[in-house]
Amino acid sequence: MLALGLAPGATAMPARVVSMNLCTDQLAMLLAAPGQLVSVSFLAADPMSSAMAAEARAYRLNHGQAEEVFLMRPDLVLAGRYTARAAVDLLRRLGVKVVTVDAPATLDAVPDTVRAVGAALGRSPQAEAMATDFTARLAALRAHPAPPRRAALYGPGGFTSGSGTMADDILRAAGLTNVAAAAGLSGYAVLPLEKLVMAAPQEVIVSATYPGTSRPEEVLQHPALKALAARIGPPRQTGPGWDCGTPRVLDAIAGLEARP
Amino acid sequence: MKVLAPLAVLVALLFAASLLIGPADLTPGQSLAALFGGGGASEAMVLVMREIRLPRALLGLLVGGALGLSGAAMQGFLRNPLAEPGLIGVTGAAALGAVLALQTGAALAFALALPLAALAGAACAVGLILLLAGPRGSTLTLILAGIAVSALAGALTALVLNLSPNPYAATEMMFWLMGSLADRSMQHVWLAAPPILLGCAALLRLGRGLDALTLGEDAAAAMGIRPTRLRITLILGTAAAVGAATAVAGAIGFVGLVVPHLLRRAVGARPSALLPASALGGAAMVLAADIAVRLIAPARDLQLGVLTSLVGAPLFLHLIWRSRRDEA
């Protein structure tokens, strides 16, 4: 086995890098030298999922399949831990160097993730600068004079983010308390609509809906939720910046603080 | 009649339990005050009771009644204890109609498109089954036709959902296969109640015809029963009841099979007595299953069909076993 997924030290700069995961896509786009990054995943170009959809259009898009990635002759493949496992295993057997990067689970883990991707790309100085800048801006955003407001995150199928999630961390950094975490939910979990209503949040933050219809998204139009919105104001939406722990997550926090 | 009164009491108790049980911790007193607008209820409690729990309980009542009644009517008409809307593909076809109405945007354009499309799907399936299996068709033909219709409807439903631009659409396959009453609203009640009530009214009037039919078709004709009219009422009544029920609650299986089977002995095997009893029995079964779903896994969106199938599948195997023994 080549490359067991550990970030090597600042080795020689790989010339052709392919990223197969939405989150490594965005970090690679932020850190790679011009011409170094060959391809990012198709999700990176989807404005619903990616905070950098416009930038991603400059790259070839891959669909996480071993064959297409192999034919791009990469020196380095960046993947998430759960990215297309079969494809990643196959690429490794074919002798391609694959580095897997865990998406950071908290805001404080973002700088280390930035450094890990930077090291893999041979761009450690740039990564260090970005990590330092992130830490400073985060500290500035976290300073709040006002008491926290109660907010509820609510998504398709009634899913919410409880304690231990990036979304919970984002809320707290923006000076909000998460009613799901307060109700004892941890991780990505279902918050029954009844409990959401009874928790009487001062703000509801929903995820953006996709075109077309689906039953899991129908709950976002439920009359009970609309009645709640009539009292506390229309729900705000999470954006793609919430999903990956890239430095763009600071924009999401700043957006929450700038209360309409 | 001595079966109907206890069944009605059971349904009333389950309906009340459905209103009083839920993830939000409300005492029965608070719940009732919020529901009927008494003092001491906060605005949030009123929302929970009137917008979340009441529609859920009402739909359990309507959907269960529709499934139980149409199961009894189909079994009476086909004179086959295996005729069941879910098993012979009627709910599957109704689900396909509903999914088409939702995914093409027709349901957004005008609200009635959803129940109407589901009704059309269900009517096609009932018609096809009657054509293929007929009143004298063997159990084998009925089940084979049902498998074909179910598989086709299921495959087309999955295809439509997978082609949707919405990534969440593909995840709702479980709902269309198993059914659920979670997070339904009064809008769904208003949409489904008229077709379900009309369909049930039509099916309840079939009692005399189905009674006559137990004596054979010639005897029924001699008693003034018009078979074509009976057949059309059955198709439309079942399609309206099952179609509208499926459009808002998904395909809940086995209710139409289990309930008439359980009640047949108690009412004396007369279809006219079995019809209202099965409507009440179906309502009781779905309300009970929906309460169980909330008690077993409150935060997991456990589908209703999981519970009804857990009860229904062994009974179905038992029926197959017995019919095999009878044929041998």
pLDDT digits (tens, 9 = 90+) for A175-222: 899 999 998 999 888 899 999 999 999 999 998 888 888 888 888 889
Axis-axis angle for helices B113-133, B227-249 (nearest 10): 130
B297 at A interface, C-beta within 8 A: no
> What pTM, to 2 d.p., does this model score?
0.85
Among B47-56, B114-123, B305-314, name the one with the lowest average pLDDT. Answer: B305-314
| Residue A186 bridge partners (DSSP) | A163
CA neighbor of B25 nearest in space, from B34, B13, B14, B15: B34
A125 at B interface, C-beta within 8 A: no
pLDDT for residue A48: 87
Across the interface, of B105, B172, B185, the residue whose CB is closest to A223 is B185
- Please enumerate, as own/partner, the contacts of A139-147 that have beta carbons within 8 Å and a separation of 24 or more: A141/A173, A141/A174, A141/A250, A141/A253, A141/A254, A141/A257, A142/A173, A144/A175, A146/A175
User: B37 Cβ partners below 8 Å, 6+ apart?
Assistant: B46
Residues above pLDDT 90, as percent of chain A: 60
Axis-axis angle for helices B139-162, B90-103 (nearest 10): 20
Å between A167 CA and nearest CA of chain B: 20
Q: pLDDT tens digit string along A144-153?
A: 767 788 999 9
Instruction: Please count the residue pairs, one from chain A and one from chain B, whose beta carbons lie less than 8 angstroms apart.
Output: 92
Per-residue confidence band for A240, with pLDDT thresholds at 50, 70 and 90: confident
Across the interface, do B299 and A156 touch by the CB < 8 Å criterion? no
A223 at B interface, C-beta within 8 A: yes
B52 at A interface, C-beta within 8 A: yes
Contact B28, B302 (CB under 8 A): no
Best of B30, B48, B168 to substitute, by most chain A Cβ atoms within 10 angstroms, is B168
Residue A111 has pLDDT above 90, yes or no: yes
Per-residue confidence band for B137, with pLDDT thresholds at 50, 70 and 90: low
Across the interface, of B23, B186, B301, the residue whose CB is closest to A223 is B186
Best of A48, A50, A193, A207 to substitute, by most chain B Cβ atoms within 10 angstroms, is A193
B24 at A interface, C-beta within 8 A: yes
Residue A22 has pLDDT above 90, yes or no: yes
Residue A9 has pLDDT above 50, yes or no: no
Q: What ipTM describes this predicted complex?
A: 0.78
Q: pLDDT tens digit string along A65-87?
A: 999 999 999 999 999 988 778 89
Residue A6 has pLDDT above 50, yes or no: no
Contact A238, B200 (CB under 8 A): no
Rounded to the nearest 5 degrees, what angle is found at the Cα of B290, between the Cα atoms of B286 and B292?
A: 115
Range 85-124 of B in CB contact (< 8 A) with A: 102-103, 105, 107-108
Across the interface, of A158, A195, A228, the residue whose CB is closest to B183 is A158
Across the interface, of B44, B107, B168, the residue whose CB is closest to A210 is B168
Across the interface, of A157, A194, A213, the residue whose CB is closest to B301 is A157
Residue A228 has pLDDT above 70, yes or no: yes
pLDDT mean over B152-170: 90
pLDDT for residue B1: 58
Give contacts of A196 with chain B, Cβ < 8 Å.
Answer: none
- Please enumerate, as own/partner, the contacts of A63-70 that have beta carbons within 8 Å and a separation of 24 or more: A64/A20, A66/A90, A66/A91, A66/A94, A69/A18, A69/A20, A69/A39, A69/A96, A70/A94, A70/A96
Across the interface, of B47, B103, B175, the residue whose CB is closest to A212 is B103
Q: How far apart are CA B293 and CA B296, in angstroms?
A: 5
A197 at B interface, C-beta within 8 A: yes
Average pLDDT, chain B: 89
Q: What is the DSSP string of A55-106?
A: HHTTSEEE-S-HHHHHHT--SEEEEETTS-HHHHHHHHHTT--EEEEPPPSS
pLDDT for residue B232: 87
Q: Which domains does chain A have, with CATH numbers?
A: 17-138 (3.40.50.1980), 149-258 (3.40.50.1980)
